């Protein structure tokens, strides 16, 4: 099936008891057994739930994977991945990544003896310098949050295979519609399902998708043993959201292109970070591994004034100042004080995350209205 057909049909069947075309919300904690151990595949809803099963199968199909595993948040999914490892193990991560991931790595798991190296992954030599006999995984975001850097996944796959380590990719910014890391050599794909997959700012959830049976068995064990599982209502909402994923991503990408071009030509804007520009350092790699360039954009203001950045964000009428991204409505955020505040200032600025940087999640509204909103807000400085 092509992507749009998979989004609507993969992993989903009409309910056999009623013929309902939508997957029912199995709002139950437990299941009746005919005899001890004699059940219909479901015992307890932390372990399995039919609504969650349908979603996990759908997500696996969208990423061209074999196994989908859902968690109560994106960080819950990342937490499960790191629990694969032991004290003394090392992980090499991109230096430009979501602040919550950085916080989980450095403030939680480093306490248990797992070591993390943060390097710019546009330079293979710097990655290989950090790989040693203790290295177990490469952790990659692309596009990165919030600097919109593009990392060559095919190259990362080759490096991981060469050194016998896992490659895990946070594919949240791209969604399965724009990019499929398993096809390019990844072992694990992670999504904050909260974002584009849910698409309507009404769910918090995470997911892992992979092909390896043994690795999937380990992660399913962690999912059940540690208990960070989503409820059936949230699974139902994500299944509903996914049915329009391809349509939404097309519009997000169209609007993203329009807004990025508008900002690039604005006299008060210093720099725009969006991989669709031909002068983006890794534009050709983005063209190779992505279907389109998406609706995530970051930009800085001339003068790098925090006060000016605040004025702009306070002046928006359509771009709501809020955490998160990927919903149908447009959002703006200030990474230095919001999503990436847990990263020390000196570390943020090493990757270009300055105080005036504003991150936009361009929604599916009319692009002219979004341009007018930007024009009005920028006029305040």
pLDDT in tens, the chain (381 residues): 999 999 999 999 999 999 999 999 999 999 999 999 999 999 999 999 999 999 999 999 999 999 999 999 999 999 999 999 999 999 999 999 999 999 999 999 999 999 999 999 988 999 999 999 999 999 999 999 999 999 999 999 999 999 999 999 999 999 999 999 999 999 999 999 999 999 999 999 999 999 999 999 999 999 999 999 999 999 999 999 999 999 999 999 999 999 999 999 999 999 999 999 999 999 999 999 999 999 999 999 999 899 999 999 999 999 999 999 999 999 999 998 888 888 888 888 888 888 889 999 999 999 999 999 999 999 999
Active site residues: 46, 98, 170, 195
Instruction: Take residue 344 and report the two structure tokens written for it.
Output: 């020390």
Angle at 321 between CA 318 and CA 326, to 5 degrees: 80
**Cα 302–chain centre separation:** 29
Which residues have CB under 8 Å from 25's CB, separation 6+?
51, 232, 233, 235, 236
Residue 217 CB neighbours (<10 A): 10
Return the pLDDT at 89. 98
Antiparallel, parallel or unpaired: β 67-71 and 90-94? unpaired
Choose among 66, 77, 41: nearest CA to 182.
Answer: 66
Q: Residue 265 region, left (φ>0) first, then alpha (ψ -120 to 50), else beta?
A: alpha
Contact 320, 361 (CB under 8 A): no
Contact 149, 174 (CB under 8 A): no
Describe the crossing of helices 232-242 and 50-62 by its angle, rounded to 10 degrees. Answer: 30
Return the pLDDT at 346. 85
> How does DSSP classify residue 105?
I
> What count of residues does the chain have?
381
Is 9 in a helix, a strand, or coil? helix
- For the beta sheet containing 331-333, the strands, ordered from the edge strand earlier in sequence to the opposite edge, are 269-273, 296-301, 358-361, 331-333, 320-321
Contact 66, 76 (CB under 8 A): no
Residue by residue, DSSP assigns 249-286 as: HHHHHHHHHHHHHHHHT-TTEEEEE-TTSTTSTTHHHH
Return the pLDDT at 237. 98
Instruction: Take residue 199 and report the two structure tokens written for it.
Output: 């698409």
Distance CA 282, CA 285 (A): 5
> How does DSSP classify residue 29?
S
């Amino acid at each position: 099936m092509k992507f749009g057909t998979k989004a609507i049909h993969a992993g989903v069947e009409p309910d056999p008891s009623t013929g309902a075309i939508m997957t029912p919300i199995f709002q139950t904690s437990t299941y009746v057994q005919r005899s001890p151990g004699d059940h219909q595949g479901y015992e307890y809803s932390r372990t399995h739930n039919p609504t969650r099963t349908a979603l996990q199968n759908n997500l696996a199909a969208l990423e061209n994977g074999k196994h989908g595993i859902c968690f109560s948040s994106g960080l819950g999914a990342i937490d499960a991945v790191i629990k694969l490892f032991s004290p003394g193990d090392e992980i090499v991560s991109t230096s430009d990544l979501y602040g919550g991931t950085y916080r989980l790595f450095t403030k939680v798991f480093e306490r248990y003896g797992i070591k993390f190296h943060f390097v710019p992954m546009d330079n293979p030599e710097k990655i290989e310098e950090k790989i040693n006999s203790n290295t177990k995984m490469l952790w990659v975001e692309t596009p990165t949050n919030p600097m919109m850097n593009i990392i060559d996944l095919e190259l990362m796959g080759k490096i991981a295979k060469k050194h016998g380590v896992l490659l895990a990719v946070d594919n949240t910014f791209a969604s399965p519609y724009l990019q499929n890391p398993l096809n390019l050599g990844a072992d694990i794909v992670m999504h904050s399902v909260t974002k584009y997959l849910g698409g309507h700012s009404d769910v918090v959830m995470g997911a892992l998708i992979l092909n390896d049976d043994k690795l999937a068995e380990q992660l399913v064990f962690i999912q059940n043993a540690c208990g960070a599982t989503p409820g059936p209502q949230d699974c139902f909402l994500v299944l509903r959201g996914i049915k329009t994923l391809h349509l939404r991503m097309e519009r997000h990408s169209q609007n993203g292109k329009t807004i990025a071009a508008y900002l690039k030509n604005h006299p008060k804007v210093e720099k725009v970070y969006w991989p669709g520009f031909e002068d983006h350092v890794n534009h050709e790699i983005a063209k190779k591994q992505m279907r389109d360039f998406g609706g995530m954009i970051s930009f800085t203001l001339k003068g790098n004034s925090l006060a000016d950045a605040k004025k702009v964000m306070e002046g928006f009428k359509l771009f709501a100042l809020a955490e998160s991204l990927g919903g149908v409505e447009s959002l703006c955020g200030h990474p230095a004080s919001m999503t990436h505040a847990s990263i020390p200032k000196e570390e943020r600025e090493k990757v270009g995350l300055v105080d005036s940087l504003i991150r936009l999640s361009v929604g599916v509204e009319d692009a002219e209205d979004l341009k007018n909103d930007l024009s009005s807000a920028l006029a305040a400085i």
